[in-house]
Structures are given as structure tokens and as C-alpha cells.
Amino acid sequence: MTIVTLGHSPDADDAFMFYGLTSGKIANPEITFRHVIQDIQSLNQRALEGEFDVTAVSFHAYPYLVDNYVLLPCGASMGDNYGPVLIAREQLAREDIVHARIAIPGTLTSAFLALMLWLERPACELNYIVVPFDQIVGKVIRGESEAGLLIHEAQLTYQDCGLKCIVDLGTWWKQETGLPLPLGGNVIHRRIPKNKRTIIAGLIRESIQYAMRNRTEAIAYAMNFARGTPLELAIKFIGMYVNNFTVDLGNIGRQALEVFFDRAYYAGLIPLLPSIEFD
């Protein structure tokens, strides 16, 4: 039997898509998964060290991982006309954001890469601080940051705190390209034999499909990771980021990744232009 370390985030959407595996509803006698649950910034950093056999990562991190990892076509989160939201206590123009202190959830998050593309500025020209994703709203409310870059459920709840949307980066990207915004995906380590990689990818896809077919029980499990988000909003959030693109990126998802990496590379925001290679 092969033990596979599987990294994913403590979020309702990841919990939903991996429910089939964590519950044992989807299993294979040849494979045992050891789940490691951490925030996406930590997963990105640990993937740089090649720690996991399989892990969720930000697509922004992938150019730094290509020597050790290959993309899986299943498990992706795409923002189709919605995505990470830049918020502030008051409306700010884009030129004001360039000079503002911005709280971000991580330098390798796709949200930050999308923000740099929107601002047309590299990280070295921005005044940002890295803050745990669930503390960004508080930083902005208290005035410790002039703006905050939101991922996860806070995208749906920030208005309840009286905060303003400066830009929804998924909406902006859709207007710019006509494509969904690539946010996160799963990668598998090249040290795993090819035949095992195929089995593992199949199990992850089956887990996603099981959750989508059995939404009530999968959502009940995912609510353990919803951080107090009301059921109605958690269901909406899961539906936004676990969908047909998650089962398989397909041609549109692949095209979106190519455009995302292409624009980032030619803007000097990533070190290389990775080939879109799937296992």
C-alpha cells in the first residue's frame, strides 16, 4: 500500500471536494491518503520544499514548482466573473491603491498576482503586508491597512462590515479576457510513478464527483470548515468554486491558465512561462 500526503486548505470548498476521500466513500486498496490541512500560503511554501505528494496550491506558485510537480486537471478553483476582492473603508482610485498599504493573504497567492496585473505594478513597487487571510477584514476596519485583498468566504461578507469594493479581480479579468480567473489547483509530485499518479488523479476526481452528487452530506461535512459562515452563504461559496471546472479544467480552463501565465510572464511578474502540462 502507498501512503500519499495530501495537502489542502481548511476551507469549505476544499472540505467539500475532498469529502469523498476523507469519509472513505471513495477509496482504493492500493492508496491511503494522509491529509494535511493548512492555509494556502503555508501549502504554497511547503510545496516549494517538495514536502507533499499531492497538494492544493495557488496557480501563481506553479512556475516556482514545475521542476518537482505537475498539474492535475481536476481540483481547480476558477473565478468565473467573480474572484478575490480588493476592499477598503472608502472608495479609492486605482492610482491611490498603488501607494496604499495593502493587506494581502500571501505573496504566492493568485489573488496577489491578479492584483499586480490589475495595478500594472510588480510587488517591489507596492506597499503590502502579508496577513492571515481571516484577519484582513479586521486590519482594514481598524485602519491598520488602507486596503485588503480578500479570498475565501470574506468575499461574500465584507459589505456587512461597511467596507467598499474597489475591484472584484475575477470580474475585471473576465472583462479583460473573456475567461475565468485561475486561482488554485492541485499538483502531484514527479517522484510518484506515472501509474500511481493516474490512480491518484482518478480518486480525486471521483471524490469531487461524489460530493457534487451527494451535496447534502458533503455540505454538512464542509460546514465544519466554514468558520461560522451562515449555511446559505457557505453553499453559495462552495458553488462558486466547486463546479465543472473543478471536475476537469477543460479547454476553457486550460486557455485561461495559458493567458494568466502569459500576461504575468511578459509583465515580469513570474520567473518563467510554464508549459501547461497535466497528469
Which residues are the active-site residues? 152
Residues 46, 57 contacting (CB under 8 angstroms): no
User: What is the 3-state composition of the chain as percent helix, strand, coil, each rounded to the nearest 5?
Assistant: 50, 20, 30
Q: What does the alpha-carbon distance between residue 201 and residue 188 come to, in Å, rounded to a whole number?
A: 9
Give the integer Cα–Cα distance in Å for 258 and 113. 14
Alpha helices of the chain — where are they, by DSSP H?
Answer: 12-17, 19-22, 40-48, 94-99, 110-119, 136-141, 154-157, 169-177, 194-213, 215-222, 231-241, 244-247, 250-266
Is 241 within 8 Å of 77 (Cβ atoms)?
yes
C-alpha cell at 186: 492541485
Cα–Cα distance, 56 to 115 (Å, whole number): 21
Task: Write out the H or E segment, with its range, that includes residue 212.
Answer: helix 194-213
**Nearest C-alpha neighbor of 131 from the set 164, 87, 83, 79:** 87
Which amino acid, 123? A
191, 1 contact by CB (below 8 A):
no
